[in-house]
Each structure stands twice: as C-alpha cells, then as structure tokens.
Structure 1
C-alpha cells in the first residue's frame, strides 16, 4: 500500500536524524512521506518538501523576521502560525492523510497549533518529550489528538527513543489507512453528561432522539470531553446541543486541574447553535484524586469516585458564584437558548436523603440563577430531579417545537 501520505514535521536543523528515521520507517511500511521544516537558524541535511521559508511566508512573515526578533518564543510563534496555515491548506488540497510532529517543549507548542488547524478525523500524532505533561492546557488540545512520549529523545538517536519513534510511525500510518472522512447522513446533537451512576437522562433521550432522525454524541464532562465538545461546537458541527453537565465550568472557576478551559459553555452560543442547558453536577468540583484538596474546599463534603477523581461539594457561596458564571457565559449566546432548571437537584447524590444532599446550597443556587438569568435565555423550571423522566420529556418537548419551527 502506497496510497497514504504522512506529513512529517519538525526542526530539521536539530532533529534531522530523528525525523529522517521516522520517514524511513513509514516508507518501510509502504507509506508515503511529505516533509515540513520548521527550523529557524539552521538547515536540513537534504531539502524538505516544504521549507522553513515557505512556512514563515504562509503566515505573512519571513525567516529573517524570526531571526531578527532575537527571541526564540517569538520566532517559534511565527513558525507556528505559518505551519498551521500551511498544513491546513495542504490538507484541503489532498496532499496528505495524517500528520506526525516531533519536538520538545518548543516543537510541541507549535505542534498543538498545527494539529488544531486540521479537521477532526485527520490522524494527528505528536511525539514529544513533554507528552501528557500538566503544562499542556486542555484548550490547546484538538478533540482527537494522539500523543506519544518521546522517551530518551532529547538529543540524538538511541535504542530507547527509536522504540518510541517506530511506534509513532506505525501508529500514524495505520490510523491514516483506517480513517474515513465523516459522512453524516443525520443531523448531530452534542450532549454532555457523566456516567449512569450519577446522571441518567441520556438513557431515555438517546433512543428518542434517534427515532427523530438525529445522531447523538455524548461527551464525558471530565475536562478533555468538554474540550472536544467545545471544539466541535466552535466548528458548527452540531445541529443542537444538550449541555446538561456544566461541572467543568465550576472546576475551572475553582482551579481544578480537571478543566475544559475558559471557553467552556460558550462556543455553541457564539456559533448560534440552538442549545438546551441544565445543571447536571453543577454543585460538585472534580479534583484529581491524588491531588490535595484545595483550602477553599477543605471543609466540604467529598466523594471518592475512584482513585482518579474526587468529587467535592461546593459551599452555598460557591454555588452562587457558579450560577452567575453560567449566566455570564450564556448571555453571549446568539442562538436559541433554554435553561431547564430541575428544582429537586442536579445529580443522583444530591437527592433528598442522598450522600451529598444540601438543600440550602441548592436553594441558594436556584435563587441566584433566577436573579441573573440573562434576557436572551428562556428559564424553564421543573418540579423534579434531573434524573426524573419529566426532565427528559421536557427536553424532547422543546426539541419537537424546534423541529416544527425549523429551528433544528
């Protein structure tokens, strides 16, 4: 098979041996290779398919500008802009099927911009010395990125780093061969949720939505799930969204590492996508299970969900802040926006008699939502819990009205 082409990207002045090794492995497996140089100061041993000059010029700059800046960060941002624009154009022209970018922290910074410029479904592999590092914020990660740790790869080839590079080369070529363009024959609805132990509406809604001719994608709102949801919403991939699990907003607000970024709960609204929003797990902050509980949450009830996640209840004041933050984000929406407020709670643990019941905190949150709900948002109050059938039935009633009015 020689019908799939991988774009191999890196600084060929300092990583020439490693990049050529990757290209050779891809070719050994029957793949084709295009090469892109993102160096600034030096040159590759042999010319690449797309030179550093082409990269800089694609972004409206020149290599000399990057050199004259005298600042490696400024220089690499010039190359990041150009490489992202060039990669997007080359993919639109059908010149490659997947991309592999190699780098340390500098190259990874650029790689994230380049991969974000490519559509979902295009295999995107970053081989990096800082893969999985907490220094990489979730908002920089594309929805379908793959990262491989470049072990032992800081300087020169060796048996340790070659093992990583071989796997990366095989992975990106295999992914390119297996990938198929998304051909959607039904309108897609994006939903946020958690597992059925805490939120259950999707069990009722999925078959009902499919019976109405929709495809449903449910995103696990544990940081990266919300990031993928926001990424697709920003690109207009959804016909409508059911953003029922806004917990990542509170996570970010209170400094948890489990964050989907500052723009959580904004991109569907900015794109004018019709959205129904609710309060699933609004009252909980998810923390990395092995991190210490922050002082601001130290006196609150907690639930060890597993060894990875600890859920901590918000105080009444924090719930009021959460309500205001949600309203501020929804106020930016340009499309139809409905906030369903189930008055009896937002997750299975906060029911009357439940493990994390807090009637006072729930009441404070509800009153703050009522007071600050923006004019562009329709507030619908229900005398039920979010996991009750009444909640799902109201969602379908709203969607049926939108379908009848050709909103979706």
Structure 2
C-alpha cells in the first residue's frame, strides 16, 4: 500500500522509485514531503477546502501536547490554528473527547465559512484583490487609494509595514489570494538594510516578481528606521537623530549613504520584473504646513532626495517598467489618485 500511496502523492524525482525508509524518523520525513506535495496540488486543483492533522511530535500539524509551547515557527504569517491536546490522545477519555470535538467543530466551521466566502466572491464579480502597504505616515494616501479601488470594483487588503505585515502580504500573493499590489510604504527595506526591528528579508519583492502580478511602487517611510525601547538601539546609533514615537517605539533618521543602499536594493528587484509595473515618485517630501510649522525640516530633504535620484538613475525603464514623476507629497489626494490611475492602466 505505502509504495502506491507515496508514488501517487510525491513529487517526481528523476527515475528513482519512491522508497519508504526503515528508519522511523526518515520515513516520517518522506511522508511529510509527500503530504506537502499532495496538499499543494490538491489546493491548486481546487479539490481541498481544509486540512487537519493530529499526532505526536513526529507527525503533528495542528493538535498536540507539544504545541502548548512556542508556536511562532509553525504559524509564521499563516492563519494556522493550533489546539493543545492537554492529555495524550492515544486513548479517548472525558478530556480528549472534548478537545478533539472542539477541534473538529472549529475545523468544520472554518471549511463551511470558506466555501460560503468562495460562493459570495463568485456572485459579487469583483475584479480581484489588491494588497496595499501602510504606515501612519501614509494613512491619508492609503485611505484615498482604498476608497477609489473599492469604487472600481476591487477588494483591498491593507498591511501594516511592520516586517510581519509585508511577509503576510507576500504569502497571500504566493497563494493566489492577491492579484495586484500597491506597495506605498517600503519601511521594511530600511529596517532590513540598517538593522531595525521591523525588517523585510532578502526575498522582499521576489514573490511579486515570480507571480508577475500588476505592481505599483512608491517609497515612503525610508527616512526612518524603527527600534524598540532605548536599550535596543545599537551603541553606534545612540548619538543619531532619534525621535520618540511612543513609549515602545523609537524612530532613527536615515542617512544619505543608507538611502543609496535602499535605492540599490529596490532597483535590483524592480529590474527583474517581467510584468507591467510603475514606480511612482512623489517629488515633494514635505507638505506645506509641515514647513510652515518647522522650517528646519528642510534639512531632512537631502537623504530622501538622494533616494529618489538614485532610484531614477538605477531603474531600467522599458515598455513595461515605467517611472512616473509627480509634483505632489505622498499624502496629497492628487498623488493617491495618480497611483490608482497607474494601477488601472497596467491592469487594462
């Protein structure tokens, strides 16, 4: 039975037959890979609505005694639900019966909800789902973009650019839930390059490149790097220009040299895009009221100006990869309108 099952579920590897090792640990590894391949294929084919697993440390995915501890490495950016079994599940008793029943009922409810949402989406006839990144400093822009996209018939998903937010968006792009992206807030790149607490990783933008979905990029919030409490700021940064955002978050101003590195990282990624894309550049760094309240803010123009100039220099423009310059601040409603116009254009 096992050879036939593994052959059916496993990803083909050359001409060698799939063999289940005698060693238990190695055998579990082979079975786990076969299960992953089967579930991915079944999901792609639209024949699976959910997955539930139970067992010990050798085969646990969802319900087990060990999962009462650290769960972040397993959950990551997914909506995986974990039920600690409280007692061992080798036998059914008055405790395990309740735990298993609750897990089963929750699973059934999630599957029914998913099927109902699928039916609703088919009936609504929406154009697709668009992922948008946001920070406090881009909220005004994102609000206008969000409302406009909804009026145009799109569903929108807004992600706070706090490291896990960007990774969650990329995960949903990979899984096919998102069909277009407006990356308005690229703060995670700054934290990745400098060493802040809300970074992306080296694979940032790679899923968008792989999936070839419509992509509009702007670059706001690269003028700051995020740290936690004061003791989390590295010693070599202690004398830098640091702003207290709140009791838990400190923001450090970025330098000209680092902005050049941000531009290099982003441009390298954009130059690998094969789909239609737009880099939308907002030429005004500050709104008029900011300069009126604090004229010294003009001194902060140089790093951001360097970033924008470097991006224009490094991005390789072609028929599908465009750079558009706008005489607005990112939170001006005219700029938000221009972002959506660009997105609609590359989707047409």
Please indicate the TM-score interval, normalised by the length of the shorter structure.
0.7 to 0.9
Structure 1 match to 2:336: 392
CA contact (8 A) 2:128 2:154 kept: yes
| 1:358 aligned residue (268, 276, 300) | 300
The corresponding residue for 1:98 is 50
Instruction: Indicate the residue corresponding to 1:371 in structure 2.
Output: 313
Partners of 1:81 and 1:171 in 2: how far apart? 26
C-alpha distance in structure 1 between counterparts of 2:295 and 2:169, whole Å: 30
1:103–1:91 Cα change, 3 Å: same
Q: For structure 1, which segment, 185-194 or 231-240, has the greater mean C-alpha deviation from structure 2 after superposition? A: 231-240
CA contact (8 A) 2:2 2:20 kept: no
Q: Which has the higher mean CA deviation after the structures are superposed, 308-317 or 360-369?
A: 308-317
Tell me, in whole angstroms, the C-alpha distance in 1 between the residues paired with 2:113 and 2:137: 34
Matches within 5 A, 1:6-405: 54=5, 58-59=9-10, 60=12, 62=18, 64-65=20-21, 67=22, 72=25, 76-89=28-41, 97-102=49-54, 107=59, 111=61, 128-133=67-72, 135=73, 138=76, 141-142=77-78, 145-148=79-82, 150=84, 168-179=103-114, 180-182=116-118, 183-184=121-122, 185-196=125-136, 198-256=138-196, 258-287=198-227, 292-295=232-235, 297-305=237-245, 309-345=249-285, 352=291, 353=294, 358-376=300-318, 377-402=321-346
Aligned equivalents of 2:85 and 2:235: distance in 1? 36
- Provide closer, same or farther for how the CA distance between residues 55 and 384 of structure 1 changes in structure 2, counting only shifts above 3 A: same
Deviation (angstroms), 1:361: 1.8
Q: Distance in 1 between matches of 2:32 and 2:295?
A: 50
Q: Does the 8 A contact of 2:281 with 2:325 survive in 1?
A: yes
* 1:11 match: none
- For residue 297 of structure 1, report the CA deviation from its aligned partner: 4.5
Separation in 2, partners of 1:344, 1:106: 56
Give the deviation of 1:326 after TM superposition: 0.7
Taking a change above 3 Å as real, the CA distance of residues 387 and 82 of structure 1, as seen in their structure-2 partners, is same
TM-score scaled to structure 2, two decimals?
Answer: 0.74
Contact 1:188 1:217 in 2 (8 A): no
Q: 1:162/1:344 Cα in 2 relative to 1: closer, same or farther (>3 Å)?
A: farther
The structure with more helix, counted as a fraction of residues: 2
Q: Residue 253 of structure 1: CA displacement?
A: 3.4
Change (3 A) 1:253 1:162: farther
Equivalent residues, number: 329
Contact 1:53 1:63 in 2 (8 A): no
Segments of 5+ residues of structure 2 without an aligned counterpart are: none
Cα distance in 2 for residues equivalent to 1:339 and 1:169: 47
Pair 93,230 (structure 1): closer, same or farther in 2 beyond 3 Å: closer
Deviation, 1:314, is 2.5
Higher relative contact order (CA 8 A, sep 6+): 2
The CA distance in 2 between the partners of 1:221 and 1:295, in whole Å, is: 25
SS of 2:39's partner is helix
- Asked whether the equivalents of residues 105 and 129 of structure 1 are also in contact (C-alpha less than 8 Å), the reply is no
Change (3 A) 1:91 1:367: closer
Is residue 133–residue 184 contact of structure 2 (8 Å, CA) maintained in 1? yes
Decide whether aligned partners of structure 1 residues 256 and 76 sit closer, same or farther in structure 2, where only a CA change above 3 A counts.
farther
> How big is the alpha-carbon RMSD for the aligned residues of Structure 1 and Structure 2?
4.1
